[in-house]
Amino acid sequence: MFDFFVEQILGMQWLSDLVWCVLINYFHADQNSNWWSSAHFFFYDTIKITILLVTLIYLISYIQSYFPPEKTKRILTHFDGFTGNIIAALLGTVTPFCSCSSVPIFIGFTRAGLPVGMTFSFLISSPMVDVASMLMLMSFFGPEFAIFYTVVGVILAVVGGKALSIMKVERYLKKYDGAIRDFYAESEYFNQRQRLNYALNDTKIIVRKVFPYVLLGVLIGAVIHNWIPQEFILSILGDNNPFAVILATIIGIPIYADIFGTLPIAEALYLVGVPAGTILALMMAITALSLPSLIMLSQVLQRKLLFLFIGIVSIGIIFVGYIFNLVF
């Protein structure tokens, strides 16, 4: 029953078969053709991700309505030390879906005087790990990969935040007086109708923002899967290159996308034989250390702290990538 859920409900194998059926019966597609394989990859992944995206974001946005930033802030004030880092990382899993949405909340937390280590644990966890991304990963790569990614993401957030706390980096915070995005602070007191409307509105906003990156990711994935020689990709990111995980992390940092935009690229790399840990490092670097979010962070972090944050998270991602390659 669980295999059926993963393969047919989350993985949507039926949709893959349906797309091929339409292409073959109506357009006389040849399954051995790179062009038709690319068309199948594009339509199948776009439809699949759109269905999952809308459904999961609606559900998670509904859950988020119970955890507006002000409530999250109040919860975090009851904890300190290592426990505070754990709670902050876990609360990050029910917050916005990309780093550029998480940064304004991080700024709000620092303004409120929350311990800096806890705020960094939240900042690392929020764009990288959430229930929606875990289910999406499960649909593409199976439950083992999804669960490992989620657990490791939370651990990385806890350890990274704690490391920065030990280093006493508070003195490297800048004062930020600019406006930050309103995240429906009053949603804590919504009735059920208001929560459903909030979830619907948030879904529209996020899908509108994310969908161009999904299309771009699917196009890149189709090219990787069908047009770039497998030997070339594996020579760079394969098992034979001992620096593949480091390279994947470096490649991921300048790219701006969320978990939904990176999935088709990750899927294409997985299908051509790139090791799972290398793919994981690429995905984590894109979601946790995207260049636009780092530019936003530079408004509230002095340069020394910004580079320290990048260094700690990068080292953690690289370490996890190599461990993941050994395990899987």
- Give the per-residue pLDDT at 24: 95
Q: Spell 284-303 as b/e; 16+ CB within 10 A means b.
A: bbbbbbbeebbebbeebbee
The 10s digit of each residue's pLDDT in 59-103 is 878 887 887 777 777 788 888 788 989 998 988 887 655 655 677
- CA-based nearest residue to 5, from 142, 132, 144: 142
pLDDT tens digits for range 284-313: 888 888 777 788 788 888 899 999 999 998
Give me the domain span that covers residue 264.
2-327
Instruction: Give the pLDDT confidence score for residue 100 in this predicted structure.
Output: 58
Q: How many domains does the chain have?
A: 1
Residue-wise pLDDT tens digits, 105-151 = 787 777 777 888 898 998 888 877 877 778 778 888 888 888 888 88
Indicate whether 277 pLDDT > 60: yes
DSSP secondary structure code for residue 175 in this structure: P
Q: Determine the average pLDDT of the residues in 235-256.
A: 90
Other CB atoms within a 10 A radius of the CB of residue 89 amount to 29
- Per-residue pLDDT reduced to its tens digit, 157-177: 999 999 999 998 888 887 765
Under a CB-based contact definition with an 8 Å cutoff, are residues 133 and 288 in contact? Answer: no
Query: What is the average pLDDT across 238-255?
Result: 90
User: In this structure, what are the phi and psi dihedrals at residue 301, rounded to the nearest 5 degrees?
Assistant: -115, 135
Q: Which residues neighbour 53 within 8 Å (Cβ) at sequence distance 6 or greater?
A: 207, 210, 211, 214, 260
Give the pLDDT score at 176: 61
